[in-house]
Every structure is written in structure tokens, then in C-alpha cells.
């Protein structure tokens, strides 16, 4: 798409793409690992959301599992806790009797697993 935008002739574009594939720059494994790392570290996405996004891009299940395997478990647990604390500050006291439910829904929406969220909430006594 970028080559079309730059008005590179289609024959030359195919040659460039083939060269990038041959040299390993265009590679599903490389992409999936970089995508998983980036979305977890920068966007604080959970495994479910990352997996969904990779599947929607046509990445094979085996490569998705490998990419998700690179996420450090301790960092993952800390990310859940940090998201809970961040959202907890945003929820105003008073009419919000379902604070725990709001926290669960927020972290679920980021793509984290329900059982890990509940464990984190219980550990944090929220």
C-alpha cells in the first residue's frame, strides 16, 4: 500500500517486497512478536486482545502462541494491578456501588483474563 502511495511501478514493487521477504524484514513471526511486545508494553493490552488482533491479521495460531509466550508473567500481573489502580482513581465515590464490577469490566476490555483480574482484586483487597 505504501509503495502504491509512493507511485512505485507494480513490477518494481513486487521485486522490492520479494527482497524484503527474502531478507527477513517481512516476516509473520517477527511481526507477531514485535506486535505482542509493543501492544503489551505501550498500550497495556492483555493476551486476549493481542491474540484477537493477530488472528484478525491472519497470523497462524502457532506464531500467536509464541508471541504471547514472550510476555513476562510478573510484568503481566503487575500490569493488571496498575490498570486497576489507575481506573480506581477515576471512579468517583458516592453513587458507584459497583466499583469492583467497573474495575473488572475495564480490565477485561483491555484483554486480560477474568481469573487473573479476580486474583489481583482479591490480593489488593478491592
The string of pLDDT tens digits covering residues 67-124 is: 999 999 999 999 999 999 999 998 877 665 688 899 999 999 999 999 999 999 999 9
List CB contacts of 88: < 8 A, sequence separation 6 or more: 99, 103, 126
3-state secondary structure of 46: coil
Domain parsing of the chain, residue ranges: 2-69, 73-124
Kindly report the pTM of this predicted structure: 0.81
Q: In degrees, to the nearest 5, what angle opens at C-alpha 39 toward C-alphas 92 and 111?
A: 55
Question: What are the CA-CA distances from residue 32 to residues 8, 38, 54 (Å)?
Answer: 27, 10, 7
Amino acid at each position: 500500500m505504501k509503495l502504491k502511495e509512493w507511485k512505485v511501478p507494480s513490477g518494481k514493487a513486487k521485486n522490492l517486497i520479494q527482497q524484503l521477504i527474502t531478507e527477513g524484514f517481512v516476516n509473520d513471526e517477527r511481526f507477531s512478536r514485535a506486535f505482542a511486545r509493543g501492544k503489551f508494553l505501550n498500550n497495556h493490552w492483555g493476551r486476549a486482545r493481542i491474540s484477537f488482533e493477530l488472528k484478525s491479521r491472519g497470523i497462524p495460531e502457532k506464531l500467536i502462541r509464541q508471541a504471547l509466550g514472550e510476555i513476562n508473567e510478573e510484568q503481566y500481573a503487575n500490569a493488571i494491578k496498575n490498570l486497576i489502580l489507575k481506573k480506581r482513581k477515576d471512579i468517583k465515590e458516592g453513587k458507584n456501588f459497583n466499583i469492583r464490577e467497573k474495575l473488572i469490566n475495564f480490565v477485561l476490555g483491555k484483554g486480560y483474563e477474568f481469573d487473573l483480574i479476580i486474583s489481583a482484586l482479591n490480593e489488593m483487597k478491592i
